[in-house]
C-alpha cells in the first residue's frame, strides 16, 4: 500500500446542499478529507452525518455543489471508476444465506472485472491478501451467516479492501456489536490506516471516535461545527452545545487522547468530587 501522502485532500465537498423531498439535510457544506488518516464524523442523531458520508460516496446526489474525488467531479466519473478509487461499506449490508466468506470478498473485485474477464490471477492475489489483512482467511469457506457479528463486519471490510483502493468509507462499522467486538473491528480499521489507507467513518460511540481518529468532524443540524484533532476539538462546552450532553473531559489513562465522562442526573457522587477530576 502507499505511504502517507501529502496534505492534499483526495476527497472533499464544495458547497453541497443535500435534502430528501422538502427537507434540507446538508446546507451549503464544505469539507475536505485529509489523506492518510482516520477521519470520523460524529454528531447527534439526525445531524446529517450519514447523509454526508452517503454524499461523499455518491450514494446521494447533491442538489447543489460538487463532491471532488482526486480532483474530479464525482458526478461525472463513471460508477466503475469511482468504485476503483473508493471502497464503501454501508450500514448493515446483507449477504444471501449460504454465501461463503471467500465468495463475498471475491465480489469486491467486481469493478475490475468484465463479462469475459471474470477471474484473473490478480483477482486471486488481491482477494487472498484482503482475507489475510482482515484476519478472516481461516473462515474463507464458512457461510457468512454462520459468523458472529464482529467476524461478519471484518468480512465486509475485507470485501471493500478487495476493491483495491486505499480510500475507505465506513458507515457505522460498529453498530450492533458488543464492546469487545467493536474494539476488535476498530483495531482492524486502525491497522488499515497504519498500512496507508485513508479512512472516513461515521461512529456513534464518542469515546471510540476520540480514541481512534486523527481528525474529527463534529456536525449539528446539517452543518460542521468543529473539525480537527480530538485533543483540540473535544471540550465539555462543545459536547454541551452539539449533543446537549453534560460531560467532563479528562485525560484518558491508557491513551494520549481525551476521555469523555458523561454526567447524568443520577449516580453523581457530588459536585466537589467532579471538580477534583
Partner 1 sequence: MIETPEMHRGVRVGGWSWVWRPWIVLVTVVLTALTFLIFSVSIAIGDFTIELPAVFRTLIGQGERVDEFVIMDLRMPRALVGLIAGVALGISGALTQSIARNPLASPDVLGITGGASATAVFVVTASGGTAIANSIGLSTAALAGGLLTGFLVYFMAWKKGIDGFRLILIGVSVSAVTQALTTWLLVLADLRDVARAQRWLVGSLDSRSWSEVWASVWIMAALVLVVLVAAFQMRPMHFGDDVAAGLGVRYSAVRAILLLCAVLLAGVAVSAAGPVPFVALVAPQITMRLMRTPVPPLIASGLFGALLLIGSDLIARTVLPNDLPVGIVTAIIGGPFLVYLLVRANLKRAA
Q: Under the rule (CB under 8 A), what is the footprint of partner 1? A: 57-59, 78-84, 87-91, 93-100, 102-104, 106-108, 110-111, 113-121, 123-124, 127-128, 131-132, 137-138, 140-141, 143, 160, 163
Q: Are 159 and 170 in contact (CB under 8 A)?
A: no
Cα gap 98→267, rounded to integer Å: 47
Residue 89 or 210: which CB sits closer to partner 1? 89
Residue 169 or 186: which CB sits closer to partner 1? 169
Cα gap 231→154, rounded to integer Å: 29
Residue 176, SS3? coil
With CA atoms as reference, report the closest residue to 257 among 40, 45, 3: 40
CB of 209 to partner 1, least distance (A): 22
CB of 128 to partner 1, least distance (A): 5
Give the Å distances, CA to CA, from 115 to 118, 120, 137, 159, 162. 6, 12, 27, 20, 18
CB of 246 to partner 1, least distance (A): 36
Residue 31 or 77: which CB sits closer to partner 1? 77
CB of 245 to partner 1, least distance (A): 30
Residue 197 or 216: which CB sits closer to partner 1? 197
Cα gap 207→34, rounded to integer Å: 21
Amino acid at each position: 500500500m502507499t505511504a502517507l501522502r501529502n496534505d492534499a485532500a483526495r476527497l472533499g465537498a464544495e458547497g453541497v446542499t443535500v435534502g430528501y423531498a422538502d427537507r434540507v439535510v446538508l446546507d451549503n457544506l464544505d469539507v475536505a478529507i485529509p489523506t492518510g488518516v482516520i477521519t470520523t464524523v460524529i454528531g447527534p442523531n439526525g445531524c446529517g452525518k450519514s447523509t454526508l458520508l452517503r454524499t461523499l460516496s455518491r450514494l446521494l446526489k447533491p442538489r447543489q455543489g460538487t463532491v471532488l474525488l482526486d480532483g474530479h467531479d464525482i458526478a461525472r466519473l463513471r460508477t466503475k471508476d469511482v468504485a476503483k478509487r473508493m471502497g464503501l461499506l454501508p450500514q448493515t449490508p446483507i449477504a444471501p444465506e449460504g454465501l461463503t466468506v471467500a465468495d463475498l470478498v471475491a465480489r469486491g473485485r467486481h469493478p475490475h472485472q468484465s463479462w469475459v474477464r471474470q477471474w484473473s490471477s490478480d483477482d486471486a492475489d488481491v482477494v487472498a491478501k484482503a482475507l489475510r489483512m482482515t484476519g478472516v482467511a481461516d473462515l474463507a469457506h464458512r457461510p457468512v451467516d454462520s459468523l458472529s457479528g464482529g467476524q461478519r463486519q471484518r468480512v465486509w471490510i475485507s470485501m471493500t479492501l478487495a476493491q483495491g483502493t486505499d480510500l475507505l468509507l465506513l458507515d457505522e462499522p460498529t453498530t450492533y456489536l458488543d464492546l469487545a467486538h467493536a474494539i476488535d473491528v476498530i483495531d482492524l480499521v486502525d491497522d488499515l490506516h497504519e498500512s496507508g489507507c485513508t479512512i472516513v467513518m461515521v461512529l456513534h460511540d464518542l469515546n471510540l471516535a476520540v480514541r481512534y481518529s486523527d481528525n474529527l468532524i463534529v456536525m449539528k443540524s446539517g452543518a460542521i461545527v468543529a473539525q480537527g484533532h480530538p485533543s483540540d476539538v473535544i471540550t465539555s462546552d462543545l459536547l454541551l452545545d452539539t449533543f446537549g450532553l453534560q460531560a467532563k473531559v479528562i485525560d484518558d489513562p491508557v491513551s494520549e487522547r481525551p476521555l469523555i465522562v458523561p454526567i447524568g442526573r443520577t449516580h453523581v457522587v457530588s459536585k466537589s468530587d467532579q471538580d477534583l477530576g
